[in-house]
Structures are given as structure tokens and as C-alpha cells.
Structure 1
Amino acid sequence: MTETTESKQLLHLVFGGELTTLKDIQFRDLNNLDIVGIFPDYASALTAWKSKAQQTVDNAHMRYFIVHMHRLLDPQNG
């Protein structure tokens, strides 16, 4: 059996960038977004997110996000 038949892939994107203010989610420079990667499940995405967030803890304007791509790809079952 393949991994996709054993457990459903729930893709998650981790990315981040520097925000213009702490009040809104508006990126300072879209050309400098940090695309960390796409992960097969939430647990591995969370691990990557924590690592990046920890690396940038000294910059209050730097934020990383987890996007539930599986919800965008299949909104009926997300």
C-alpha cells in the first residue's frame, strides 16, 4: 500500500515575511517572502513553523503562517 492510501495527505504551506505594522497582515516586500515549504501534514508544518519563528524572534515584524492547502484544494471536505 502507498502512503497516500494509508493516510490522507493534508498539504500545508509554511511561509512568512516582514509585516509593515503589527496590527495588520500586510507584507513589507512581497518579493522577499520566505517560502519554507509544503508539508504532508499539520504536525510537520508546525515543526517547520516553530523553527522559523524561533529563528526570527528578535524581529517583531517578522511573521510565519501555516496555510491549510488541503482546505483550498478540496473545500467540501476540508
Structure 2
Amino acid sequence: MSKLHLVFGGRVADPQGMDFTNPADLHIVGIFPDYAQAEAAWRANAQRTVDDATMRYVVVHLHKLLQPDN
């Protein structure tokens, strides 16, 4: 199975948390076939919004959701 990774971001209520204030407005960057590509996409978007403390981008390991035992 591919080790897919999802990168997305959006505005959070607290810069220290993961509570996205408006899930309908999440910026879906994309799904990537490996962590290196996902990290590069995450880094580019996080750097672009570095001056906005309420914007957060994350990498989600989709393969861990699809096969939690692996």
C-alpha cells in the first residue's frame, strides 16, 4: 500500500491548538505519495503564512488511517 500523506491548512482558534475555526474554508494543498513531498508542500505553505499566527498547516499520514495496524 502507498504511504499517502495529506497536506492541508487553515485558521485555528488558538495558535497552540488544532481547532480549525472554519473547516469549510480549509486549504487542501494535496495528497502526496511520500513524506518527503508532503513535507516540502507543508513547508512551502507554512513559510508563506509564517507571519499569521492563526494559520496552521499540517501533514496527515493517510496510510495510518487506512491501515492503523501498520
TM-score interval, smaller chain: over 0.9
TM superposition outliers: structure 1 runs of 4+ over 3 Å:
none
**Taking structure 1 as the reference length, what is the TM-score of the superposition?**
0.83
Cα distance in 1 for residues equivalent to 2:17 and 2:42: 20
Please report how far the alpha carbon of residue 24 of structure 1 lies from its aligned counterpart in structure 2 after TM superposition.
2.4
* Residue 76 of structure 1: aligned partner: 69
**Taking structure 2 as the reference length, what is the TM-score of the superposition?**
0.92
More deviation, 26-35/62-71: 26-35
Q: Is residue 2:41 matched to residue 1:48? A: yes
Q: Where do 5+ consecutive residues of structure 1 fail to align?
A: 1-7
User: How many residue pairs end up in the alignment?
Assistant: 70
> Aligned to 1:21, what secondary structure does the other structure show?
coil
Answer with 1 or 2: which has the greater Rg: 1
Larger RCO, structures 1/2 (Cα 8 Å, 6+ apart)? 2
Q: Where do 5+ consecutive residues of structure 2 fail to align?
A: none
Cα distance in 1 for residues equivalent to 2:9 and 2:42: 9
